[in-house]
Chains A and B, each alone.
Chain A
Amino acid sequence: VQLQESGPGLVKPSETLSLTCTVSGDSINSYYWSWIRQPPGKGLEWIAHIYYSGNTNFNPSLKSRVTISVDTSKNQFSLKLNSVTAADTAVYYCARAPHYYLTDGGWFAPWGQGILVTVSS
């Protein structure tokens, strides 16, 4: 199973960050699929996840700005984060969460390689 993030590496302040994760070796029609980010030199922050059926959960601190969706025909899932600021500069990872229960949250395998997104004018 492999996951690959794609999208712009540079986003202007106040604009929308858009990323796509392409999944190979597994069907997206199962499990949870997550986005996680890591600001330079800092720790990991969970952003959101989507269940294959479409159910979603969000980090409360980001919920108002985040959209997550899944495209089963392309075996992809996507992240949109609007009104970005410099504080949103980070490496963004997508990850499979190979479980069916929310209480297993935090179990991620595998992770994508990550994509650095810089917010700057």
Chain B
Amino acid sequence: QSVLTQPPSASETPGQRVTISCSGSSSNIGSNDVHWHQQFPGTAPKLLIYRNDQRPSGVPDRFSGSKSGTSASLAISGLRSEDEADYYCAAWDHSLSGVIFGGGTKLTVL
């Protein structure tokens, strides 16, 4: 069982906006930054958002991240079929002295 909690699935139609939540605690999200990774089937994950809301070069501004308290969210606007993938949040946990991942959210573009 993951220390960070994500919904196992999400879905939305093309052009719409979808948000994926990531819930933690004071020992992880509450005190450290959150990062998001995107993974397509059969491929390695790729960094999507770092330090809560920063986009690496090349990531479209349709992707945005936010954090409040012990929760974080990834928002995708103007949804496209190619956004269909698994999304994982990650953070440092002080209590475990290690990196923890959310269980992942499978996004389906209807």
Q: Identify the A interface with B (CB < 8 A).
A: 34, 43-46, 49, 57-60, 93, 102-114
Total of A-B residue pairs, C-beta within 8 Å: 86
Q: Which of chain A's residues have a CB closer than 8 A to the CB of B103?
A: 43
Given contacts A44-B90, A110-B47, A113-B43, list 7 more A-B pairs with CB under 8 A. A43-B101, A102-B92, A108-B35, A108-B47, A109-B46, A109-B47, A111-B44
Tell me whether chain A's interface is mostly helix, strand or loop, or mixed: loop
Tell me whether chain B's interface is mostly helix, strand or loop, or mixed: strand
Query: B45 near A108 (CB under 8 angstroms)?
Result: yes
- Selected A-B contacts with CB under 8 Å, 25 pairs: A34-B99, A43-B2, A43-B102, A43-B103, A44-B104, A46-B101, A49-B99, A57-B98, A59-B98, A60-B97, A93-B44, A93-B45, A105-B32, A105-B91, A105-B99, A106-B91, A106-B100, A107-B35, A107-B47, A108-B45, A109-B46, A109-B47, A109-B56, A110-B47, A111-B45
| Of listed B45, B51, B93, residue having the most chain A CB within 10 A | B45
Is B34 interfacial (CB 8 A cutoff)?
Answer: yes
Q: Which of chain A's residues have a CB closer than 8 A to the CB of B97?
A: 57, 60, 102
Q: In whole angstroms, how far apart are the Cα atoms of A113 and B44 in the complex?
A: 5
Q: Which of chain A's residues have a CB closer than 8 A to the CB of B67?
A: none
Query: Closest A-chain residue to B36, C-beta based?
Result: A106
Q: In whole angstroms, how far apart are the Cα atoms of A34 and B77 in the complex?
A: 31
| Of listed A57, A93, A107, A111, residue having the most chain B CB within 10 A | A107
Query: B88 near A43 (CB under 8 angstroms)?
Result: yes
